[in-house]
Amino acid sequence: DDQKYETGKYIGDSFRDLTRIANINEDLWDELFMNNKQYLLASIERFEEQLDLLKNAIRDNDDETLKAAFRKSTKRREHL
């Protein structure tokens, strides 16, 4: 086991519920990822772009970009 942190001490039931799908067969996950490679890679790239936006805003002390991102997330959450 190569875990750097003792995450298990700090997680609650909601995290366990969200991650229980990780317990399924790795062969199935591999097949799902490989069969959806194009879409998965595109989603990862969009996620990376958003993460970079947040990282740069934090590094640059750009409050307005952070606030805009938070407002956008709140609106997106309201539509769920």
Q: Please report whether residue 15 resides in a domain.
A: no
Is the per-residue pLDDT at 12 higher than 80?
A: no
**Could you tell me the residue range of the domain that residue 66 belongs to?**
25-78
What's the structural domain count of the chain?
1
Q: Please report whether residue 47 resides in a domain.
A: yes
Q: pLDDT tens across 16-75, in order?
A: 777 777 777 888 889 999 999 999 999 999 999 999 999 999 999 999 999 999 999 999
Q: Measured between alpha carbons, how far is 19 from 24 in angstroms, rounded to an integer?
A: 10
- pLDDT (0 to 100) of residue 25: 81
- pLDDT (0 to 100) of residue 44: 98
Model confidence, pTM: 0.66
Q: Measured between alpha carbons, how far is 51 from 66 in angstroms, rounded to an integer?
A: 11
